Amino acid sequence: MLLGEYHHNLDEKGRLIIPSKIRDELGDNFILTRGLDKCLSVYPREEWNNIINKYKELPNTKDARNFMRFLLSGATECTFDKQGRINLPSPLMRYADLEHECVVIGVNDHLEIWSNDNWEDFVDGNESEFSDIAEHLFAPITD
């Protein structure tokens, strides 16, 4: 399970260090792509394969095609360098507004990489709703 919140800075070449305990869970080869809400998503290879297999089962609708275009066109295979960094491609950095300060969060089956400003805006903008969301999502199901 990928979890936690980590703050790291991009270097001048667009490289971002990923904490060692997360590197172990991601494995040697993983996928980086556009995420939702102006962040990047990092998927372990097995989870990425699950997403692709689910896509193959979807009907050939405009929504399915458009979402997969969005997801796959930004996707790139990644590995860690010897210092535990990943290289973020410029188009993905622009998409997520990544310039210097980044926040890496674990979201169970994947990581998200946020600009510090976007992450703070997300938390601040949703903080008052988290209690209601939790109550709705985890309320007992009644017949």
Phi, psi of 85 (to 5 degrees): -105, 155
CA dist., res. 107 & res. 141, Å (int): 24
pLDDT value at residue 100:
95
Q: Which of 57, 33, 56, 34 is nearest to 45 (CA)?
A: 33
Percent of the chain with pLDDT over 70: 97
Cα dihedral across residues 15, 18, 20, 24: positive or negative: negative
Helix (H, G, I), strand (E, B) or coil at 137: helix
How does pLDDT run across 25-80, given as a tens digit for each residue? Answer: 899 899 999 999 999 999 999 999 999 999 999 999 999 999 999 999 999 999 99
Q: Which of 8, 12, 20 is nearest to 102 (CA)?
A: 8
Residue 143, pLDDT above cutoff 60: no
pLDDT value at residue 16:
97
State which fold the 5-137 domain adopts.
Answer: Chemotaxis protein chec (3.40.1550)
